[in-house]
C-alpha cells in the first residue's frame, strides 16, 4: 500500500483513537467567563450561547422580559450559570443532543421522589467497586458505594443525570428517566490514561474522595498502595498507611504503628471484616497482606464511626478483591525476597468467581547454606533459616439479583530457626555447646459473608468468621561433656523453654444499611465474638528428666507438656448511627456503639457515643468530631526468650478495659491553583493503659496473679495535621505533615512523672511525587522526615553499689528519666521506576529503584557500651541502624 494511503489510514485511526479516548464534553459543562450589568435575561442568554458556542433554545413566552440581570462569573460551568439565572423563574434546562433547551420546571413536589439502587462494578472484571462516588451535577445528592459496591439514591421524578466516578476509571454519566423505584447497575471502564495517577485538572468536577467526607479517614486505593515505593519490590498497605498524616512508627516501620499518639496495640486491622492480631511478617519488614488481593483500604484515625469498635486509636479496614467475573487471569511476580502468583476467574460468568493468591520468600536456601558456611569458618556447626508465606483464597457467588455470598480464607506464617553447635576440647574432655532457637508465628482467617439487598433502601450483610493468631518460640541451650577417647557422654546439662501465645476469635455480625430518604443514612447492627486466649510458658532443665541423659530435648517434647490457662471472654456489640444531610455540604452523623464484655468473674459495659459533623461549600469543608472508645483487649510484650512476643490478654476483674475520648476539627480547601489542602487538629486522652512493662517474662497461668505485674496508666496526645495534594498534567504531588505531642503517666514507672511516649515524634513529613513520562514509564520519588524517636539515656554519672559484705561492686549507671533524649532525626529518600509493557497475551511491569538512596544511617535504637575492664572510663553510645540503602526490584507478569 502506498505510503500516502497508509498515512491517511493511520491518521484516521489516530483521530478515532484520540476521539474515543478524549474526555466527552457535555454542553452544559463548558467553562465560561462572563459579566454584565442590568441586561435582560433574554439578552444574557443570547450572550451565553454565543460565548460558549452551545445552542440555547427556548420559547419566548417562558422567559420574563422584565427580568434584569447583574452577573459576573469567572471560570464557571455554563450549566451552573443557567441554573442561577432561570431557577428563580421556575425554569430548568434539558440537554437535547449537543444543545440546551430551557423549559418550565414541572417538578414542584419535593415528595415526588424515586429511589433507585444497584451496584457499581468494574466493567472489565465485574468486581464491585468500594467507595465509588455517585452525584448529581450540583452535588445536591451524593452517595458512595458501600463495602460491597452497593449504593442507593433518592431523586426527584423525571429525567436525572448521574455522574459516577472512581479513581483509575473513566467517569460515567448516565441519564435516567425516573418514574418508579428501580435497579440500576453501573459498570465503569478502567482508564489506561488515568491509571496509577490522579489527574485533577478535570474541568467538570474534581474527583471527590471518601476522605473529604465526615471522618478523619485516609483512603488507600490500590493505586496509592503501589505508588508508595515498595520495600524490596513488595508494595505494602501498612507502609502506605505510614505515609498518612498522623501516623508514626519506629525506624523503617519496625515496632508497630502509632496513630495520633496511640499505642501500637490500639489499632484494629480488619481483613474483609475479620480482626487480625499479628499483621506482620519479618518483625514488621512486610505486612501479611498481599497487595495483589487488596481492593481498598481505609484508615480511620479520628473519631471512629459507630459501626466500628474494639480499639482506641484507629481502624484499618482492608477489603479484598473478589476475582474476575468475566475472564480467567493470572499474575506471577518476583521481588528481591519474595515470589508470588495468583489466579482468578469466573466459575459461572458474571455470577460466580474465584481468586487464589500465594506469596513466599525464596531466599531461605541461600540463608541456610550461607550461614552454614560462615559458621564453619568460625569453627561452629549449624545453620539459620527463615522464610514466610501467605495464601489467600476467595469464592464468590451471586444468588439472584439481590444476594451474594462470599467465602474468604487466609493462612500465613513466619518460621525462623537457628541451630548452632560449638565444639571444643580441654585435656581428656570434649565439650559440645549447642544453642537452638525456633520461633514461628502465623494467622489463619476464615469467613463466610452473605449480603442481601432487601429493598432499594435497605441492604443487609451477615457474616461469621474465625481468626486464629499463634506465636510460639522454643529456646534450647545444651552443654555436653564427653570423654575424648571414647566419645561417650559423661555429663549433660540443658535449659529449654517454650513460650506460646495464641488468640482465637469466633464471631458473627449482622449489619444493616437503611437509606430511608435522600437526607438520611442509617446504619445499625449487632455482633458477637468469643475470644479464647492461650498464653503458656514452660521452662525445663535436666533435673526434670523429660528425656534420657544422652538424648537432646526436642520442641515436640515440650509441646506435649505445655499447658495453657483457660482465659476466655465474650463480647457483645450493638451499634446504630444516623447520618443527616442538609444540602450538598452539611452532614451530621450521630452514632452510638455499646460494648458489653463478659470475662471470668466480671463484666463491663462500654458506652461509646460518636458525633461527626461537616459543613462548608464546594471549595471548603469544615469538620468536627467527638467520640469515646473502649478496648477490653490488652497486649503485652514479653522478650524473655530473646525475641519480642506479643501476648493478647482480656480484661479481668483486676484489669479494667482501656478507654479514650477524642475530639478533632479540620478545615479543607479545594483550590484551582494549589489543589487540595487540609488542616486538622486533634486531642485524645486515654485511661487504663496497660501496654508497658519492663519484665522480661510474665507467668500468665491460672492463679499466677499476673495482673499485678502490669502497671496501669494514662496517656494523652494532641497535634495538627496538614495535607496537600496537587495534580498537574501527568504529575501528582502529595505532602503530609504532622506536628504532635504524646506522653504517658504510670504511678509505678518513672517515679510517677509523665514521660514522652516512644512514638512521640514531634515533626513528621512525607512528600511524594509521581510522574508519568509516557504510557509505559512512570517514576515516583518519596522523601520522609521525622524527628528522632525518644530514647532513654544515662546522665553520665555512675557509682558503685556494694554487696552486704562490701565486696563485688556493681557499676550503676544513673538513668534519671524515661525517654529523656532523642535519637537523631530520621530522613530517607526513595525512588523507583515502573516500566510497563503490553502484549497481545497480557502485560508486564518491571520496577526498579532504591530505598534509602543516600544511605542515611537512621538509628533504630541506641546501645550503651561500658568497658567492664575500665568501668569508670567514658560511657560510649552506639546507634544501631536497621536498613541501609537497599535496591528495589520486582517483575510482574499478568495474563
Partner 1 sequence: MPIKVLFLLFIVALFNSCIKEYTPEDWDDSFSIVVSGEIETELPGQVIRIHTTINNAGEQANLPEDLLVEVFEENNPVSKKLTAVSDNESFWQMPGDFSFHEGETYFLKISPAQNIIPQVKSEVTAPRPGSLIAESAFVSEGETKIEIDLTLEKSPNFKSYYHINVYLIDAEGNSDELEITDFRKLYNGAEILTQRNGILIDYDKLPEDKHLSFYANILNSLDIELLKGSFLHLNLKTVTEDYYLYHKSLSQLTESNSNPFLLPTTTFTNISNGYGLFALHSTVIDSIVIE
Instruction: Give the one residue of 479, 596, 693, 836 binding partner 1; rule: CB under 8 A.
Output: 693
Instruction: Give the one residue of 796, 841, 854, 869 binding partner 1; rule: CB under 8 A.
Output: 796
CA angle 427, 431, 435 (to 5 degrees): 160
Sign of the alpha-carbon dihedral angle for 369, 375, 377, 381: negative
Number of residues that bind partner 1 (CB under 8 A): 77
Nearer to partner 1, 46 or 800 (CB): 800
Nearer to partner 1, 316 or 537 (CB): 537
Mark 287-316 with x for binding to partner 1 (rule: CB under 8 A) and - for no binding.
Answer: ------------------------------
Instruction: Give the one residue of 241, 358, 558, 818 binding partner 1; rule: CB under 8 A.
Output: 818
Residue 774 CB partners (closer than 8 Å, separation 6+): none
Choices 291-299, 450-458, 466-474, 791-799; region in contact with partner 1 by CB under 8 A: 791-799
Q: How does DSSP classify residue 227? A: H
Instruction: Give the one residue of 674, 857, 887, 895 binding partner 1; rule: CB under 8 A.
Output: 857
**Contact (CB, 8 A) for 395 and 409:** no
In 3D space, the residue among 515, 461, 577 whose CA is nearest the CA of residue 117 turns out to be 515
Nearer to partner 1, 668 or 826 (CB): 826
The alpha carbon of residue 397 and the mean position of all alpha carbons in its chain are separated, in whole angstroms, by 27
What part of residues 533-572 is at the interface with partner 1 (CB under 8 A)?
Answer: 537, 539, 541, 543
Choices 13-21, 141-149, 421-429, 819-827; region in contact with partner 1 by CB under 8 A: 819-827
What part of residues 342-381 is at the interface with partner 1 (CB under 8 A)?
Answer: 366, 369-371, 373-374, 377
Q: How does DSSP classify residue 553? A: -
User: What is the end-to-end Cα distance of the chain in Å, rounded?
Assistant: 34
Q: Mind giving me the DSSP string for 48-101? A: HHHHHT--EEE-GGGS-TT-EEEEEEEEEEHHHHHHHHHGGGTEEEEEETTEEE
The alpha carbon of residue 383 and the mean position of all alpha carbons in its chain are separated, in whole angstroms, by 36
- Distance in angstroms (rounded) separating the CA atoms of residues 193 and 775: 7
Least distance between partner 1 and beta carbon 537 (Å): 6
845 scored as a contact of partner 1 (CB under 8 A): no
In 3D space, the residue among 190, 199, 359 whose CA is nearest the CA of residue 291 turns out to be 359
Instruction: Give the one residue of 709, 843, 844, 894 binding partner 1; rule: CB under 8 A.
Output: 709
Give kind and range of the element (H or E) at residue 367: helix 364-377
- Distance in angstroms (rounded) separating the CA atoms of residues 276 and 561: 28
Residue 370 CB partners (closer than 8 Å, separation 6+): none
Strands 314-320 and 267-271: parallel
814 scored as a contact of partner 1 (CB under 8 A): yes
822 scored as a contact of partner 1 (CB under 8 A): no
Least distance between partner 1 and beta carbon 230 (Å): 20
State the chain's maximal CA–CA distance in angstroms.
121
Grid cell digits, residue 27: 454542553
Choices 104-112, 165-173, 718-726, 807-815; region in contact with partner 1 by CB under 8 A: 807-815
Instruction: Give the one residue of 804, 840, 841, 869 binding partner 1; rule: CB under 8 A.
Output: 804
The alpha carbon of residue 632 and the mean position of all alpha carbons in its chain are separated, in whole angstroms, by 22
Least distance between partner 1 and beta carbon 534 (Å): 16
Least distance between partner 1 and beta carbon 261 (Å): 17
What part of residues 718-757 is at the interface with partner 1 (CB under 8 A)?
Answer: 749-751
Sign of the alpha-carbon dihedral angle for 195, 200, 201, 203: positive
What part of residues 235-274 is at the interface with partner 1 (CB under 8 A)?
Answer: 250, 255
277 scored as a contact of partner 1 (CB under 8 A): no
**Contact (CB, 8 A) for 337 and 895:** no
Phi, psi of 366 (to 5 degrees): -65, -45
In the three-class reduction of DSSP (H, G, I as helix; E, B as strand; rest coil), residue 676 is classed as strand
Q: How does DSSP classify residue 672? A: T
- Distance in angstroms (rounded) separating the CA atoms of residues 771 and 315: 31
What part of residues 329-348 is at the interface with partner 1 (CB under 8 A)?
Answer: none
603 scored as a contact of partner 1 (CB under 8 A): no
399 scored as a contact of partner 1 (CB under 8 A): no
Least distance between partner 1 and beta carbon 229 (Å): 20
In the three-class reduction of DSSP (H, G, I as helix; E, B as strand; rest coil), residue 362 is classed as coil
Nearer to partner 1, 668 or 851 (CB): 851
- Distance in angstroms (rounded) separating the CA atoms of residues 128 and 147: 8
Nearer to partner 1, 14 or 373 (CB): 373
- Distance in angstroms (rounded) separating the CA atoms of residues 478 and 762: 47
696 scored as a contact of partner 1 (CB under 8 A): yes
Instruction: Give the one residue of 50, 70, 808, 867 binding partner 1; rule: CB under 8 A.
Output: 808
Mark 643-682 with x for binding to partner 1 (rule: CB under 8 A) and - for no binding.
Answer: -x--------------------------------------
884 scored as a contact of partner 1 (CB under 8 A): yes
864 scored as a contact of partner 1 (CB under 8 A): yes
Nearer to partner 1, 25 or 865 (CB): 865
In 3D space, the residue among 314, 220, 312, 210 whose CA is nearest the CA of residue 587 turns out to be 210
Instruction: Give the one residue of 802, 837, 838, 839 binding partner 1; rule: CB under 8 A.
Output: 802
Nearer to partner 1, 4 or 366 (CB): 366
Least distance between partner 1 and beta carbon 252 (Å): 11
What part of residues 625-644 is at the interface with partner 1 (CB under 8 A)?
Answer: 637, 639, 644
Least distance between partner 1 and beta carbon 138 (Å): 55
In 3D space, the residue among 374, 300, 292 whose CA is nearest the CA of residue 338 turns out to be 292
Mark 192-231 with x for binding to partner 1 (rule: CB under 8 A) and - for no binding.
Answer: ----------------------------------------
Amino acid at each position: 500500500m502506498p505510503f500516502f494511503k497508509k498515512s491517511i489510514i493511520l491518521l484516521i485511526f489516530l483521530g478515532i483513537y484520540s476521539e474515543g479516548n478524549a474526555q466527552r464534553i457535555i454542553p452544559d459543562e463548558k467553562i465560561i467567563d462572563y459579566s454584565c450589568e442590568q441586561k435582560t435575561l433574554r439578552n444574557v442568554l443570547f450572550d451565553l450561547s454565543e460565548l460558549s458556542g452551545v445552542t440555547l433554545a427556548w420559547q419566548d413566552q417562558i422567559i420574563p422580559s422584565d427580568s434584569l440581570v447583574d452577573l459576573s462569573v469567572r471560570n464557571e460551568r455554563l450549566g451552573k450559570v443557567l441554573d442561577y439565572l432561570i431557577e428563580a423563574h421556575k425554569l430548568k434546562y434539558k440537554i437535547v443532543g449537543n444543545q440546551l433547551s430551557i423549559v418550565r420546571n414541572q417538578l414542584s413536589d419535593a415528595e415526588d421522589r424515586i429511589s433507585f439502587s444497584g451496584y457499581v462494578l468494574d466493567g472489565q472484571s465485574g468486581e464491585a467497586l468500594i467507595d465509588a462516588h455517585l452525584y448529581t451535577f450540583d452535588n445536591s445528592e451524593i452517595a458512595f458505594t458501600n463495602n460491597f459496591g452497593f449504593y442507593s439514591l433518592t431523586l426527584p421524578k423525571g429525567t436525572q443525570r448521574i455522574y459516577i466516578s472512581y479513581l483509575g476509571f473513566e467517569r460515567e454519566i448516565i441519564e435516567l428517566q425516573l418514574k418508579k423505584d428501580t435497579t440500576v447497575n453501573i459498570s465503569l471502564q478502567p482508564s489506561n490514561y488515568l491509571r496509577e495517577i490522579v489527574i485533577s485538572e478535570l474541568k467538570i468536577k474534581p474527583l471527590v474522595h471518601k476522605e473529604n467526607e465526615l471522618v478523619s479517614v485516609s483512603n488507600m486505593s490500590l493505586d496509592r498502595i503501589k505508588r508508595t515505593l515498595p520495600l524490596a519490590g513488595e508494595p505494602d498497605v501498612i507502609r502506605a498507611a505510614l505515609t498518612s498524616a498522623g501516623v508514626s512508627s519506629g525506624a523503617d516501620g519496625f515496632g508497630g504503628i502509632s496513630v495520633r499518639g496511640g499505642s501500637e496495640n490500639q489499632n484494629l486491622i480488619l481483613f474483609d471484616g475479620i480482626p487480625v492480631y499479628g499483621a506482620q511478617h519479618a518483625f514488621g519488614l512486610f505486612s501479611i497482606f498481599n497487595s495483589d488481593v487488596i481492593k481498598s483500604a481505609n484508615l480511620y484515625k479520628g473519631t471512629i464511626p459507630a459501626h466500628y469498635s474494639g480499639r482506641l486509636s484507629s481502624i484499618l479496614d482492608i477489603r479484598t478483591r473478589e476475582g474476575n467475573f468475566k475472564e480467567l487471569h493470572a499474575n506471577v511476580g518476583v521481588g528481591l525476597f519474595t515470589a508470588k502468583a495468583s489466579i482468578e476467574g469466573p466459575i459461572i460468568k458474571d455470577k460466580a468467581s474465584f481468586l487464589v493468591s500465594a506469596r513466599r520468600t525464596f531466599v531461605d536456601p541461600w540463608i541456610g547454606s550461607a550461614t552454614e558456611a560462615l559458621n564453619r569458618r568460625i569453627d561452629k556447626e549449624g545453620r539459620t533459616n527463615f522464610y514466610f508465606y501467605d495464601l489467600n483464597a476467595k469464592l464468590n457467588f451471586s444468588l439472584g439479583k439481590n444476594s451474594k455470598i462470599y467465602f474468604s480464607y487466609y493462612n500465613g506464617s513466619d518460621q525462623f530457626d537457628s541451630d548452632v553447635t560449638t565444639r571444643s576440647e580441654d585435656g581428656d574432655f570434649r565439650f559440645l555447646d549447642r544453642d537452638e532457637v525456633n520461633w514461628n508465628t502465623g494467622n489463619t482467617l476464615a469467613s463466610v459473608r452473605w449480603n442481601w439487598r432487601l429493598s432499594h433502601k435497605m441492604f443487609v450483610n451477615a457474616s461469621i468468621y474465625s481468626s486464629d493468631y499463634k506465636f510460639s518460640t522454643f529456646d534450647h541451650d545444651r552443654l555436653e561433656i564427653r570423654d575424648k577417647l571414647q566419645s561417650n557422654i559423661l555429663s549433660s546439662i540443658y535449659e529449654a523453654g517454650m513460650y506460646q501465645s495464641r488468640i482465637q476469635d469466633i464471631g458473627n455480625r449482622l449489619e444493616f444499611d437503611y437509606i430511608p430518604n435522600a437526607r438520611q443514612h442509617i446504619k445499625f447492627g449487632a455482633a458477637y465474638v468469643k475470644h479464647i486466649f492461650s498464653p503458656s510458658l514452660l521452662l525445663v532443665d535436666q533435673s526434670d528428666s523429660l528425656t534420657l541423659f544422652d538424648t537432646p530435648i526436642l520442641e515436640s517434647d515440650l509441646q506435649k507438656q505445655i499447658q495453657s490457662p483457660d482465659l476466655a471472654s465474650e463480647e457483645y456489640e450493638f451499634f446504630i448511627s444516623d447520618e443527616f444531610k442538609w444540602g450538598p455540604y452539611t452532614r451530621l452523623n450521630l452514632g452510638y456503639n455499646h460494648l458489653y464484655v463478659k470475662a471470668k468473674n466480671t463484666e463491663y459495659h462500654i458506652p461509646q457515643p460518636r458525633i461527626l459533623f461537616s459543613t462548608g461549600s464546594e471549595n471548603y469543608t469544615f469538620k468536627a468530631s467527638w467520640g469515646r472508645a473502649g478496648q477490653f483487649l490488652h497486649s503485652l510484650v514479653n522478650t524473655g526468650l530473646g525475641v519480642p512476643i506479643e501476648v493478647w490478654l482480656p480484661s479481668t476483674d483486676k484489669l479494667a478495659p482501656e478507654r479514650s475520648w477524642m475530639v478533632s476539627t479540620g478545615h479543607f480547601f479545594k483550590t484551582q491553583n494549589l489543589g487540595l489542602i487540609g488542616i486538622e487538629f486533634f486531642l485524645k486522652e486515654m485511661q487504663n493503659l496497660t501496654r508497658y512493662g519492663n519484665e522480661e517474662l510474665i507467668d500468665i497461668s491460672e492463679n499466677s496473679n499476673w495482673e499485678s505485674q502490669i502497671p496501669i496508666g494514662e496517656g494523652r496526645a494532641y497535634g495538627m495535621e496538614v495535607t496537600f495534594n496537587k495534580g498537574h498534567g501527568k504529575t501528582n504531588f502529595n505532602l503530609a505533615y504532622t506536628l504532635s505531642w504524646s506522653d504517658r503517666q504510670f504511678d509505678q514507672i518513672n517515679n510517677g512523672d509523665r514521660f514522652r511516649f516512644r512514638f512521640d515524634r514531634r515533626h513528621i513529613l512525607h512528600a511524594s511525587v509521581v510522574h508519568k513520562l509516557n504510557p509505559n514509564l512512570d517514576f515516583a520519588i518519596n522523601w520522609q522526615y521525622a524527628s528522632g524517636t525518644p530514647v532513654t539515656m544515662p546522665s553520665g554519672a555512675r557509682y558503685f553499689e556494694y554487696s552486704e559484705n562490701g565486696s563485688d561492686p556493681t557499676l550503676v549507671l544513673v538513668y534519671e528519666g524515661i525517654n529523656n533524649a532523642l535519637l537523631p532525626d530520621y530522613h530517607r529518600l526513595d525512588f523507583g521506576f515502573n516500566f510497563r509493557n503490553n502484549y497481545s497475551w497480557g502485560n508486564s511491569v518491571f520496577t526498579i529503584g532504591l530505598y534509602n538512596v543516600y544511605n542515611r544511617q537512621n538509628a533504630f535504637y541506641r546501645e550503651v557500651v561500658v568497658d567492664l575492664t575500665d568501668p569508670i572510663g567514658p560511657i560510649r553510645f552506639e546507634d544501631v541502624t536497621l536498613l541501609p540503602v537497599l535496591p528495589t526490584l520486582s517483575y510482574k507478569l499478568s495474563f
